[in-house]
Amino acid sequence: MDSDDRIPLSERPEWSDVTPLPQDDGPNPIVAIAYKEDFAEVMNYFRAVYRADERSPRSLDLTAEAIAMNPGNYTVWHFRRLILEALNVNLHDELNFLDDIAESNTKNYQIWHHRRWVAQKLGTDASRKEIEFTKNILSLDSKNYHAWSHRQWVLQALGGWEDELDYCHELLEEDVFNNSAWNQRYFVITRSPLLGGLKAMRESEVSYTVEAILAHPENESSWRYLRGLYSGDTHSWITAPQVSSVCLKVLSGKRNFVFALSTLMNLLCHGFQPSQELRDAVDALRTPDDSPTDPDLANTVCLILERVDPIRVNYWLWKKSKLPQ
Amino acid sequence: MEAQVSKKLTLTQQCQRMVEYEVARIYDFFLRAPRSAQEFMLELQRESHIEYLTNGLNHLGPSFRVLDANRPWICYWILHSIALLGDSVDAELETRAIDFLNRCQDPDGGYGGGPGQLPHLATTYAAVNSLVTLGSHIALSSINRHKLYTFLLKTKQPSGGFRMHDQGEIDVRACYTAISVASILNILDDELVQNVGNYILSCQTFEGGIAGEPGSEAHGGYTFCGLATMILINEVHRLDLRSLVEWVVFRQAGLECGFQGRTNKLVDGCYSFWQGGVCSLLQRLSLDIDEQSVQPDAQEVGSSFDGLSTGAGTSQKVNFNDIGYEFIKKRPSSQPLFNSLALQQYILLCAQVPEGGLRDKPGKPKDYYHTCYCLSGLSLCQYSMSMEDSPPVPRAVTGPYSNLLEPIHPLYNVVFERSIEALDFFRGK
């Protein structure tokens, strides 16, 4: 609201019976904020109705004014919920109210928490709107943490799973480096009641991921997703031919192979038995400066990583020191 | 190579390239600068930072109204930063700070974001850490521990999580702020700890890091909170520490040298603490991680958290309130898991604003939050090869040795000495 055409509460007849309650900041507070008059006034009136526990339509309006000035005030939101319950307000209107302030406050915890509260009360009817709403926010920022959390909550609490895997695919087509979309994909394949769970999805997901890796071997997200597909199943992880073959392909390409090497390292630490082909591919990445071939492949892998991934040199040295000698 | 160039870059790639370009420009400028200029660039501008910080204690402009429900946080960010810089506020400011925080304290326990606001776990953490940082008996005695304990119990959920406030959100931040406060105040008990480990465990993702809620994406801030919580409740071995290490070391960006919060996101100075803190906690657990790595897939290992318990698998009682003490007695392995010198370079050259204050990245404005967490991260780096009670060797400190900050307690993020004094003070209670 523009402060110029705002009528102060003290000049509004409907508020004439309320005595504003100033903040008890003490005589000489630290971190004192130089409030503008309009903000201080709204908060003074808010404190008055909050103290009196006045759950009325005018209090509801006042919370909207206070929220517009500082959407981070959780006490105001909390009181607003009490009023909404007391007045039995149509919660679809409340969602519209939230829509209006959402786009400029996409990283505010309180708004999202309030939205979840409203949607929960509305029940399954709200599912479609909430899915659409988060889609809109994600179209502005496809990694918005709150929007993803809300979307996951909606799916689990209210349903709407039908198109979720397609949606993930759509976002990954647009930006395959979007780790939030990969995370959502994992959420869907492990939790959607319409799919058969991780084991049932594994084969097709591995193919999908391998393709993504080969297109961009420098993309950490797809490698981590691949590892995630074998979560809790070490045996399959170290024996799956698709896993060792994607490592081999990327290593043989001799470009962008840091994640292929670190994946290989992970496999070796879990007891993976490398083929001669794979050994040769790793060997081909050594430079004349590297020490002579080590019979232990993991040692060689660490050695190469120390050189090509110098920011993590301590980590690779540490990993190497932990290898069985 | 040609094929690569002709492909259209995705948004993630474009943003990443822009930051890399900007940071590379700064590093390039630094490398070409004469030695005297280099020395100046690497110098922590203590006086400017102190001035920026002290100004904030005394006056905040009208735009700070959006933080009107976070004032104990502003106190903490500033007071902790000043303490890290080895300075302290004068007696008058200290009295004003104690008085103000007391006005934020709810009669039924806990601290709100300002006087008269509902008590909230995050602002409770900020207020308690502020008072611990001030450190005087008056400051520490002003905390109503018994009421605070009641407040913590009210926020606790059967699932093991905590709610931020009455009917507030449940997440890993809430768990950490509740457990951290209870630990330092010597009021942590079985009832508060019940099921917390299960909740945090359900938030560790397939990537290895920890998310804010079950199902969400692994994130630096929540990973610090989750890991620190698990250590404080003596259940850290239930986490998959090996995948956690593997995730966190990859959050340090090769070119920029700073940390990112999530996979394929941009670096941000504040993660110098959140991710750096995770590394530094893990560094102290590294012996224990080895134990885990020889038993793959061991989810609920009964291995001991050495010196602290005789094993999670037994019913032996653990005194939770000793953990904050005992943890820092564990000598870290000689080398940090992350690249400490590189991170210091990012903080000093890219996050530091020479006129005072620190920031997310070049092009972003400074603020108190980033000043606090960049400095906390810098301190972690400087002490990453030594114990908190002995001065680091000069080569561990980037720039002049006068850049050296005070060490912190990595589980609470308050200055080390103050944390020990507070633990001693509340132990007697």
Looking at beta carbons, which residues of chain A come within 8 Å of B296? 234, 269-271
* pLDDT for B14 beyond 90: yes
CB nearest A35 (choices: B62, B78, B206): B62
* pLDDT for B2 beyond 60: no
Looking at beta carbons, which residues of chain A come within 8 Å of B57? 30-31
Q: What is the mean pLDDT of residues B239-247?
A: 96
Given a contact cutoff of 8 angstroms between Cβ atoms, the answer to whether B161 and B174 are in contact is: yes
Residue identified by tokens 């606790």 is: B156
Sorting pLDDT into bands at 50, 70 and 90, what band is B304?
very low
- What stretch of H or E contains A112? helix A109-122
pTM across the whole model:
0.95
A152–B contact, CB cutoff 8 A = yes
**A:B CB pairs within 8 Å:** 207
The pLDDT value recorded for residue B288 is 59
State the sign of the Cα–Cα–Cα–Cα dihedral A117, A121, A127, A133: negative
A136–B contact, CB cutoff 8 A = no
Looking at beta carbons, which residues of chain A come within 8 Å of B338? 312, 314-315
Catalytic residues of B: 219, 262, 265, 268, 270-271, 360, 367, 370
The pLDDT value recorded for residue A322 is 87
Query: Who has greater pLDDT, B303 or B146?
Result: B146
CB neighbourhood size of A60 (10 A): 19
* Amino acid (1-letter code) at residue B157: Q
B60 and A31 in contact by Cβ < 8 A?
Answer: yes
CB nearest A186 (choices: B97, B206, B339): B206
Full 3-state SS string of B139-165: HHHCCCHHHHHHHHHHHECCCCCEECC
Spacing of C-alpha A197 from chain mean position: 21
Residue identified by tokens 């097709």 is: A204
Nearest CA to B218 out of B175, B259, B248, B252 is that of: B248
* Amino acid (1-letter code) at residue B360: D
Looking at beta carbons, which residues of chain B come within 8 Å of A72? 66-70
The whole-angstrom separation of Cα B377 and Cα B317 is 34
Token output for A194: 């319409």
B96 and A156 in contact by Cβ < 8 A?
Answer: no
The whole-angstrom separation of Cα B269 and Cα B198 is 31
What percent of chain B shows pLDDT beyond 70?
Answer: 91
A191–B contact, CB cutoff 8 A = yes
Sorting pLDDT into bands at 50, 70 and 90, what band is B1?
very low
Residue identified by tokens 């291995």 is: B303
Per-residue pLDDT tens over the stretch B334-390: 689 999 999 999 999 999 999 999 999 999 999 999 999 999 999 999 999 887 778
Helix/strand/coil percentages in chain B, nearest 5: 55, 5, 40
* pLDDT for B24 beyond 80: yes
Sorting pLDDT into bands at 50, 70 and 90, what band is B331?
confident
A3–B contact, CB cutoff 8 A = no
For residue A22, the 8-state DSSP code is: -
The pLDDT value recorded for residue B306 is 34
Spatial CB neighbours of A7, under 8 Å, sequence gap ≥ 6: none
Q: What is the mean pLDDT of residues B46-58?
A: 97
Nearest CA to B216 out of B256, B245, B154, B173 is that of: B173
Q: Calculate the alpha carbon distances from B66 to A73, B129, B270, B364 in Å.
A: 8, 22, 20, 18
Interface probe for B, chosen from A74, A82, A141, A225 (most Cβ of B below 10 Å), is A74
Looking at beta carbons, which residues of chain A come within 8 Å of B167? 78, 81, 117
Residue A153's φ and ψ, nearest 5 degrees, are: -65, -45
> Which listed residue (A107, A121, A199, A322) is catalytic?
A107
State the sign of the Cα–Cα–Cα–Cα dihedral A278, A282, A284, A288: negative
Nearest CA to B156 out of B118, B411, B112, B148 is that of: B148
Q: What is the mean pLDDT of residues B401-405?
A: 98
Given a contact cutoff of 8 angstroms between Cβ atoms, the answer to whether A242 and A205 are in contact is: no
Q: What is the mean pLDDT of residues B260-289?
A: 92
For A21, nearest residue in chain B (alpha carbons): B116
The pLDDT value recorded for residue B334 is 67
A234–B contact, CB cutoff 8 A = yes
The pLDDT value recorded for residue A287 is 84
For A269, nearest residue in chain B (alpha carbons): B293
* Amino acid (1-letter code) at residue B38: Q
The pLDDT value recorded for residue A21 is 97
Nearest CA to B345 out of B322, B307, B388, B378 is that of: B378
The whole-angstrom separation of Cα B175 and Cα B321 is 16
The whole-angstrom separation of Cα A99 and Cα A89 is 17
Looking at beta carbons, which residues of chain B come within 8 Å of A164? none
For residue B352, the 8-state DSSP code is: B
Interface probe for A, chosen from B20, B217, B341 (most Cβ of A below 10 Å), is B217
What is the CATH number that goes with domain B14-292+318-427?
1.50.10.20
B207 and A74 in contact by Cβ < 8 A?
Answer: no
* CA-angle at A268, arms to A267 and A270, nearest 5°: 65
The pLDDT value recorded for residue B136 is 97
CB nearest A74 (choices: B10, B56, B69): B69
Looking at beta carbons, which residues of chain A come within 8 Å of B249? 312, 315
Spatial CB neighbours of B116, under 8 Å, sequence gap ≥ 6: A23, A24, A47, A75
Nearest CA to B68 out of A8, A51, A69, A112 is that of: A69
B263 and A35 in contact by Cβ < 8 A?
Answer: no
- What stretch of H or E contains B326? helix B320-327
Angle of helix B71-84 relative to helix B46-58, nearest 10 degrees? 150
Q: Clarify whether A107 is annotated catalytic.
A: yes
ipTM: 0.96
Full 3-state SS string of B75-140: HHHHHHHHHHCCCCCCHHHHHHHHHHHHHHECCCCCECCCCCCCCCHHHHHHHHHHHHHHCCHHHH
CB nearest A315 (choices: B169, B215, B337): B337
Interface probe for A, chosen from B169, B177, B338 (most Cβ of A below 10 Å), is B169
pLDDT tens for chain A, 325 residues long, are 455 688 999 999 999 999 999 999 999 999 999 999 999 999 999 999 999 999 999 999 999 999 999 999 999 999 999 999 999 999 999 999 999 898 788 888 999 999 999 999 999 999 999 999 999 999 999 999 999 999 999 999 999 999 999 999 999 999 999 999 999 999 999 999 999 999 999 999 999 999 999 999 999 999 999 999 999 999 999 999 999 999 999 999 999 999 999 999 999 999 999 999 999 999 999 987 776 677 899 999 999 999 999 999 999 999 998 887 6
